[in-house]
Amino acid sequence: MSTLPDGDHGAGPVPARRLRVAVWKFASCDGCQLQLLDAVGRWPALLGRIEFVQFLEASSRVEPGPYDVGIVEGSVSTPQDVVRIREVRRQCRFLLTIGACATSGGIQALRNWGRVEDFVAAVYASPDTIEALATSTGIAEHVPVDFELRGCPVDTAQLADVLVALATGRTPRVPSTSVCAECKAAGVVCVAVTRGIPCLGPVTQAGCGALCPAHGRECFGCFGPAEATNLPALSAHYEATGTPRGRLLPLVRGICGWAPAFRAEAERLADAPGEPAP
């Protein structure tokens, strides 16, 4: 239970002091903060390396900055967020953003293609008391970010690895390959090749362990685009094998739809809509 995820039994060089970590939430579902709590539950030895000096979801403790590491969950979606994220950056030596919301605007970035006034009016009877920006965007669009950990939610083991890496001064072990590579390594039968299901595995960052294909379904890109992708070629392949463009567009314009590679492809598909979805 107390062994750290990289096999470190805590016997390595004892840090002079624990990293002072602060956690902030912006627009999000809290799922990535929950993964952080689960990481501590799985590897209590983490608390020998780091201490949470501000983590409002889990603790009433609030210590003033500066902090060694700031962890941010959630996207920037209100005028206040824009101001707050600059203050957070100013307080943190190292800024780690976690999850689809913080790294690409999240599912709530689907508003970015509409008029925010319409979105407010659709949900609220008195829109004037609601303050929302026209867009929901990732943290790096506003302030410099030192490390982005992807996923909706982030993977608990990857998150623990990044924290241990920061505490011990090594590089985080986060792969830059695609879900497709993880899928092959796991020996999962390809849903795209064998069943003609359009799958984003070839263009999606690894880290989930090819969870969706292992459940017999398509990857829907919740870890965002992989480092090197060719989305137009993938779309062309799926279209040539019978998937209508109207089916591809919502797949690409999904949980990480505002990530640059997915966004560009969604806009290309939307400009030439082709036949509608069945």
Partner 1 sequence: MSDDGAGSVRGIRTIAVGALSRVEGEGALRVRVVDGRAEIVEFNIYEPPRFFEKFLVGRPLAEVPDLVARICGICPVAYQLTACRALEKALVVEPDPAVAPLRRLLYCGEWIQSHALHVHLLHLPDFLGYESGFAMAADHPALVEAGFRMKALGNRVMEVVGGRAVHPVNVAVGGFHRWPEAAAVRGLVPDLERGLGDALELVSRVADLPFPTLAPEAEEVALAHPDEYPILEGRIASSAGLVADVDDFRAHFAERQVPWSTALHCLREPGGTPYRVGALARVNLCRDRLPPRAARAAAAAGLGRPERNPFRSIVARAVEIAAACEEGMALAAAWDRGTRGPCAALPARAGAGAHATEAPRGLLWHRYAFDAAGRIEAAAIVPPTSQNQARIEADLRAGLPEALAMDDAGATLRCEQLVRSYDPCISCATHFLTVRIDRP
Query: Cα angle at 91 between 55 and 135, to 5 degrees?
Result: 80
Residue 42 to residue 17: CA distance in whole angstroms: 22
4, 5, 20, 35: which one binds partner 1 (CB under 8 A): 35
Give the number of other Cβ atoms within 10 Å of residue 161's Cβ: 21
Select from 74-82, 90-98, 141-149, 266-274 the region that touches partner 1 (CB under 8 A). 74-82
CB of 229 to partner 1, least distance (A): 21
Residues in the chain: 278
Torsion, Cα 145 221 21 132, to 10 degrees, reads: 70
Contact residues for 217 (Cβ-Cβ < 8 A; gap 6+): 191, 197
Q: Of 10, 66, 175, 276, which lies in the binding site for partner 1, with binding defined by CB under 8 A?
A: 276
When asked if residue 41 is in the footprint of partner 1 (CB under 8 A), the reply is yes
Cβ-based burial of 58 (10 A; exposed 0-12, middle 13-18, buried ≥19): middle
* Residues 116-145: x where in contact with partner 1 by CB under 8 A, - otherwise, as a string: --xxx-xxxxx--xx-x---x---------
Examine residue 245 and tell whether it contacts partner 1 (CB under 8 A). Answer: no
What is the pattern of x (binds partner 1, CB under 8 A) and - over residues 169-208?
A: ---------------------------------------x
Least distance (Å) between residue 63 CB and partner 1: 11
Query: Residue 78: which of 100, 33, 111 has the closest Cα?
Result: 111
- Least Å distance, CB 14 to partner 1, is 19
| Cβ distance to partner 1 smaller for residue 130 or 193 | 130
Half-sphere exposure of 217 (CA within 13 A, CB side): 6
Q: Name residue 143's amino acid.
A: V
SS3 category, 54: strand
Among the listed ranges 14-22, 108-116, 142-150, 178-186, the one in contact with partner 1 (CB under 8 A) is 108-116
The residues pairing with 225 across neighbouring beta strands, listed in sequence order, are 204
43 binds partner 1 (CB under 8 A): no
Q: Say how far apart CA 139 and CA 214 lie, in whole Å.
A: 31
The dihedral sign for the CA sequence 249, 250, 255, 258: positive
> Which position among 10, 15, 61, 86 is part of the footprint of partner 1 (CB under 8 A)?
61
CB under 8 A: which stretch of 166-174, 213-221, 234-242, 260-268 binds partner 1? Answer: 213-221
Nearest approach in angstroms of CB 97 to partner 1 is: 16
Residues lying near partner 1 in the complex (CB under 8 A): 25-35, 37-38, 40-42, 44, 47, 52, 55-62, 77-78, 81, 106-108, 110-111, 114, 118-120, 122-126, 129-130, 132, 136, 152-153, 208, 211-212, 214-217, 220, 222, 247, 250, 254-255, 276-278
